[in-house]
């Protein structure tokens, strides 16, 4: 089973509550960035280029969590393990019944695991973009692959839930991905995520794909993906392989960081708002839902589209049945 029944129960309650209140747009996952500081400078990431010298106080983080009410919180950054109050922040989130994903590059995870107790609602999510050679070209840090793999093994030994996230770039090869997923599976990870690389407006490296490239790439990779246990939903996989088109749900994953609430989404920045209400009322959501903004043209990232899958599941019994079958399956 990929997600525990209590997770589905919480999500069902969240949808029902918001729909009964007549809310058309409400968040599912808060992307919380307590710091933009990082111990890496990966190609493909823009966060160290923005407000890397500013951090949120734990009370600011908790205010944001209460304001938006999303049942899932992805603690990201920057590298969240550089945040001095990370343990306190995670404990506060867990005590509020949130499902928490700590998204880390893994370099500091070894010590963190000694300091933190596992919790059924806490998942450590490691970012790995390929085997050592590729991963270390992206991170620019020799040895970073082995450090992350050691931390993954240690986390599993200590009883943590572990998932991984792999960005598939233009030049990512099938054989290398298969080797990586084999290694992660034998390390006992609970699930793996893949997402196509997407160009942030402030990142110019030539490693990103067009939408047509992404569809071709994910079709070619189907034989690899079918062998492993992925957390990507089958509907999102259909979308990535061009079998169906779905709109983006940018408001489903609001991002809060040192500069405030980021509009409209994790990738694109048109401005920042002081409050969650300001974000919701001050963003022209229809433009992004329709993909009318030119920056959305090649975007197929899971943050924008997996939320759409959840919306579809809670609107269509057929989609919900498919999701339940997938959740219970291999
Ligand atoms: S399509 Fe991508 S870039 Fe556009 S709003 Fe959605 S997540 Fe953001």
Instruction: For 18-43, write each residue's pLDDT tens digit.
Output: 999 999 999 999 999 999 988 888 76
d(CA 51, CA 35): 9
**Residue 267 pLDDT class (50, 70, 90 cuts):** confident
**Residue 326 pLDDT class (50, 70, 90 cuts):** very high
65 burial level (CB within 10 Å; 0-12, 13-18, 19+): buried
Q: What is the mean pLDDT of residues 180-206?
A: 81
257 CA → ligand 1 middle, Å: 18
271 CA → ligand 1 middle, Å: 14
Per-residue pLDDT at 242 exceeds 90: yes
Task: Answer whether 279 contacts ligand 1 (Cβ < 6 A).
Answer: no
Task: Answer whether 319 contacts ligand 1 (Cβ < 6 A).
Answer: no
Which protein residue has the closest C-alpha to ligand 1 atom 8? 265
8 C-beta neighbours (distance < 10 Å), count: 15
Residue 197: the pLDDT is 79
Residue 248: the pLDDT is 95
Pocket test for ligand 1, best of 267, 287, 292 (most atoms within 8 A of CB): 267
d(CA 241, CA 215): 5
Which protein residue has the closest C-alpha to ligand 1 atom 1? 296
Mean pLDDT taken over the chain: 92
Instruction: Please state, for a pLDDT cut of 70, what percent of the chain lies above it.
Output: 94
Task: Answer whether 31 contacts ligand 1 (Cβ < 6 A).
Answer: no
Pocket test for ligand 1, best of 25, 27, 200, 250 (most atoms within 8 A of CB): 250
Which pLDDT tens digit goes with each residue over 1-12?
Answer: 888 889 989 999
Per-residue pLDDT at 119 exceeds 60: yes
How many residues can be counted in the chain?
330
Cα separation of the two ends of the chain: 8
Q: What are the structural domains of the chain? A: 5-328 (3.20.20.70)
d(CA 79, CA 36): 7
Q: Are 152 and 187 in contact (CB under 8 A)?
A: yes
Q: What is the mean pLDDT of residues 84-99?
A: 98
Ligand 1, atom nearest to 248 Cα:
6
**Residue 156 pLDDT class (50, 70, 90 cuts):** very high
d(CA 126, CA 145): 11
What are the residue ranges of helices labelled H in 199-301?
211-220, 222-225, 234-240, 276-282, 285-289
Residue 206: the pLDDT is 59
209 CA → ligand 1 middle, Å: 15
Residue 61: the pLDDT is 98
């Amino acid at each position: 089973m990929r997600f525990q029944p209590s997770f589905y129960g919480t999500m069902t309650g969240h949808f029902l509550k918001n729909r009964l209140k007549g809310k058309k747009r409400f968040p599912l996952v808060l992307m919380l960035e307590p710091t933009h500081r990082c111990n890496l400078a990966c190609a493909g990431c823009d966060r160290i280029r923005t407000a890397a010298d500013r951090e949120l106080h734990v009370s600011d983080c908790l205010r944001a969590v209460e304001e938006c009410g999303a049942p899932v919180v992805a603690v990201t950054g920057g590298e969240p393990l550089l945040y001095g109050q990370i343990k306190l922040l995670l404990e506060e989130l867990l005590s509020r019944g949130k499902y928490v994903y700590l998204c880390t590059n893994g370099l500091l995870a070894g010590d963190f695991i000694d300091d933190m107790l596992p919790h059924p609602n806490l998942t450590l999510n490691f970012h790995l973009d390929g085997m050592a050679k590729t991963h270390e070209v992206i991170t620019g840090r020799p040895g970073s692959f082995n450090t992350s793999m050691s931390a993954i093994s240690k986390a599993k030994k200590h009883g943590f839930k572990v998932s991984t996230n792999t960005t598939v770039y233009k030049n990512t090869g099938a054989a290398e991905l298969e080797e990586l997923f084999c290694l992660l599976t034998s390390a006992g990870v609970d699930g793996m995520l893949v997402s196509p690389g997407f160009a942030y407006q402030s990142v110019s490296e030539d490693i990103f794909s067009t939408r047509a490239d992404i569809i071709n790439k994910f079709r070619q990779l189907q034989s690899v993906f079918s062998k492993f246990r992925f957390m990507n939903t089958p509907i999102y996989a259909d979308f990535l392989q061009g079998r169906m088109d779905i709109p983006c749900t940018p408001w489903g994953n609001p991002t809060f960081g040192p500069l405030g609430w980021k509009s409209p989404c994790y990738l694109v920045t048109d401005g920042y708002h002081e409050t969650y209400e300001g974000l919701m009322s001050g963003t022209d959501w229809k433009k992004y839902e329709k993909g009318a903004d030119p920056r959305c043209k090649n975007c197929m990232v899971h943050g924008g589209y997996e939320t759409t899958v959840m919306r579809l599941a809670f609107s269509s019994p057929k989609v919900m049945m498919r999701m339940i079958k997938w959740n219970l399956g291999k």
